[in-house]
Amino acid sequence: MSLDVASATPNESVAPAAVTRTPVKRTILMCKPEFFTVVYRINPWMDPALPTDTSLAVAQWQTLYDTYIGLGFDVHLIDPIDGLPDMVYAANGGFVIDGIAYGAKFTYPQREPEGPAYMDWFGANDFDVREPVEINEGEGDFLLVGDVILAGTGFRSASNSHEEASAIYGRPVITLTLVNPSFYHLDTAIAVLDASPTSGNGEIAYLPSAFDEPSLAVLRERYPDAIIVTEEDAAILGLNSYSDGFNVVIAAKAKDFERQLRARGFNPIGVDLSELLLGGGGVKCCTLELRR
SS3 37: coil
Alpha-carbon Rg for the chain, nearest whole angstrom, is 17
Which one of 31, 76, 162, 185 is the catalytic residue?
185
Active site residue 162: no
Closest CA to 249 of 289, 196, 209: 289
Sorted by sequence, the CB contacts under 8 Å of residue 28 that are 6+ apart come out as 68, 73, 74, 75, 76, 242, 287, 288, 289, 290
Closest CA to 209 of 229, 238, 225, 187: 229
Q: Which residues pair with 51 in a beta bridge?
A: none
Which one of 31, 162, 285, 286 is the catalytic residue?
285
First to last CA, the chain: 23
**CA gap 20, 113 in Å, rounded:** 43
Other Cβ atoms less than 10 A from the Cβ of 220: the count is 19
- Whether the Cβ atoms of residue 93 and residue 122 lie closer than 8 Å to each other: no
- Whether the Cβ atoms of residue 37 and residue 84 lie closer than 8 Å to each other: no
Question: From start to end of 25-93, where are the E strands?
Answer: 27-30, 74-77
Active site residue 185: yes
Sign of the dihedral through C-alpha 187, 192, 196, 200: negative
The catalytic residues are 185, 285
